[in-house]
């Protein structure tokens, strides 16, 4: 069975995203730092951790892909894509509970609506990643 270079690249990205999801899920189960007085549903914290971690890595991959394209073809459209990917990266970076705890920020009640917006952002980033890898 011979796998093309493009398929290997896609499998590598999928494996990386799966590994990030598993590590984020494991971290969220081990996290014992200060929690909010507000009680969120028990699955909300792990869900936010996994979704924002996948968004962070996916948008980082997008930055790499668009950076490579920009080096080959200097166009305003590619610069715009790089700017959007950078904004999505920093959005995922600042909303990730792992990053927040490493920096020392206190985490507090997330609420359903915050996690829902992270899920839709993650779907948009994964869609951009899928289209960019084609």
Q: Which residues of 24-48 are buried (b: 16+ CB within 10 A; e: fewer)?
A: beebbeebeeeeeeeebeeebbbbb
Give DSSP secondary structure letters for 6-36.
HHHHHHHHHHHHHHHHHHHHHHHHH--S---
pLDDT tens, residue by residue, 86-127: 888 988 888 888 887 777 666 655 555 667 778 888 888 888
What pLDDT, on a 0 to 100 scale, did the predictor assign at position 111? Answer: 59
Rounded distance between C-alpha atoms, residue 2 and residue 119, angstroms? 35
User: What number of residues does the chain have?
Assistant: 134
Structure tokens at 55: 């968004």
What pLDDT, on a 0 to 100 scale, did the predictor assign at position 37? Answer: 46
Which among 88, 92, 89, 100 is positioned nearest to 27, based on CA atoms? 100
Structure tokens at 47: 């869900």
pTM: 0.73
Structure tokens at 38: 């507000």
Rounded distance between C-alpha atoms, residue 48 and residue 92, angstroms? 10
Report whether pLDDT(35) > 60: no
Rounded distance between C-alpha atoms, residue 133 and residue 95, angstroms? 25
C-alpha pair distances (Å), 97 with each of 64, 108, 125: 24, 10, 18
């Amino acid at each position: 069975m011979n796998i093309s270079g493009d398929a290997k690249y896609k499998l590598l990205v999928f494996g990386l995203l799966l590994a990030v999801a598993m590590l984020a899920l494991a971290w969220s189960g081990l996290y014992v730092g200060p929690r909010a007085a507000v009680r969120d549903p028990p699955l909300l914290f792990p869900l936010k951790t996994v979704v924002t971690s996948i968004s962070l890595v996916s948008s980082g991959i997008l930055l790499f892909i668009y950076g490579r394209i920009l080096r080959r073809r200097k166009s305003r459209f590619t610069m715009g894509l790089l700017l959007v990917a950078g904004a999505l990266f920093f959005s995922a970076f600042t909303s990730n509970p792992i990053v927040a705890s490493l920096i020392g920020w206190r985490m507090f009640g997330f609420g359903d609506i915050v996690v829902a917006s992270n899920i839709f952002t993650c779907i948009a980033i994964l869609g951009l990643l899928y289209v960019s890898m084609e």
